[in-house]
Structure 1
């Protein structure tokens, strides 16, 4: 699958829908097997001990739940954290390099001002 841009809102909706579907499916099971609601397909599946919910609503809820389990949101968060870690490392390297360059510039300025003093020049390369 090619890397497609992540639509965070769509992924959040997918996860929220999956959570809602899992809740609805569990509630349905509780209502049917507790005797408070009737659902012939689920009761038939239970009587036949095949371990599935047979009604269309349960199948639809299960499909949404399974889709939510395959969400790219968690993968995207892991990728973003890895990128953030890499960028922080690059920033620390750049900051160290900047400090080294500042030290080199200060040393060169000191050397240049020393040379200017030695030849009796009235002005400094960089004023102190």
Structure 2
């Protein structure tokens, strides 16, 4: 993934623009080839089977569609899933460590209570 920071909203906008461009491009072709609209460059491109000769609007829409195919949104989702898995694993390890520490604390507390009870007993045995 490139070094530039990922901006999910910008990537979503690229995908939306690509979807709209694809729709506009298809609608334009439908109108032209259906005979409801005239567009000399697109008609010429169709006659010559050369999409590169299509009109400027068609070419601009095609660039937007291609930008959508290059969107980094999927890559970002995969990266976020990996980060979530890593964070979840670290959390599970930390929770196990906390449980171990809590058990150790309980054991030390029992030991300390036992020592204090022995000291308390010894103090009572000594005459004042």
TM norm structure 1 = 0.86
1:44-81 deviation per Cα after TM superposition (whole angstroms, max 9, x unaligned): 11112235561111100000110111111221111111
5+ long unaligned stretches in structure 1: 123-128
Distance 1:23 1:53, change over 3 A: farther
Which segments of 5 or more consecutive residues in structure 2 lack a partner in the other structure?
123-128
**Number of paired residues?**
122
Per the alignment, residue 87 of structure 1 pairs with 87
In the aligned structure 2, how far is the partner of 1:121 from the partner of 1:95?
39
Q: When you count helix as a share of all residues, which structure comes out higher?
A: 2
Residue aligning to 1:71? 71
Quick check: which has more Rg, 1 or 2? 2
What is the distance in 2 between the residues matched to 1:108 and 1:100?
12
Alpha carbon RMSD of aligned pairs, Å?
Answer: 1.8
- TM-score in terms of structure 2 length: 0.86
